[in-house]
Amino acid sequence: MTARGDFIEKFGGVFEHSPFIAERAYDDGLIFVPLTAKGVHAALVFVFRNASHDERLGVLRAHPDLAGRLAIAGELTEDSRQEQAGAGLDRLSAPEHARFTELNIAYMQKFGFPFIIAVKGLTKDDILAAFEHRIGNGVDDEFETATAQVEKIALLRLQSLLLQK
């Protein structure tokens, strides 16, 4: 078994600013060697899905707006910065940025958490289309959709981390 501190240091940020998920997975004996993306992901998702509604909402709220103020200020986590840049969100035109800002505000007002999507492999147009579609969802449906996207982001991050030796 890997040391708790090492595990938390390496995997505590897989769920954005929510190390409690990795801590609980480790403390509950859900982590097994050899560490694989699939195995660690299953353990972390189990903890996330069994967290209280308020804790899961906190995880959703820990995510940054897409192309939002944190990105402009350079205050994203390195993972989020790379993910957004990979989708071209760091190179939006002024009208595109205005549209993302408008949607971010409307989405946050409606749902109480930022729009979350696993951006890897998507273009800014794909993301914008999903944004415009999902803003029409009901609150419960969107909570579940955002939760599934957080889990997908976590898997992508784990796959990247576990390729690094």
For the chain, the first-to-last Cα distance in angstroms comes to 17
d(CA 50, CA 48): 5
Q: Which of 17, 53, 63, 133 is catalytic?
A: 63
Q: What is the DSSP string of 52-84?
A: -HHHHHHHHHTSPPTT-HHHHHT-S-HHHHHHH
Are 150 and 116 in contact by the 8 Å Cβ rule? The answer is yes
Neighbours of 50 (CB within 10 A): 11
Give dist(CA 104, CA 65) in Å, integer.
6
Residues 133 and 129: their CA atoms lie apart, in Å, by 6
Q: How far is Cα 27 from Cα 47, in angstroms, rounded to an integer?
A: 11
Among this protein's residues, is 63 annotated catalytic? yes
Active site residues: 63
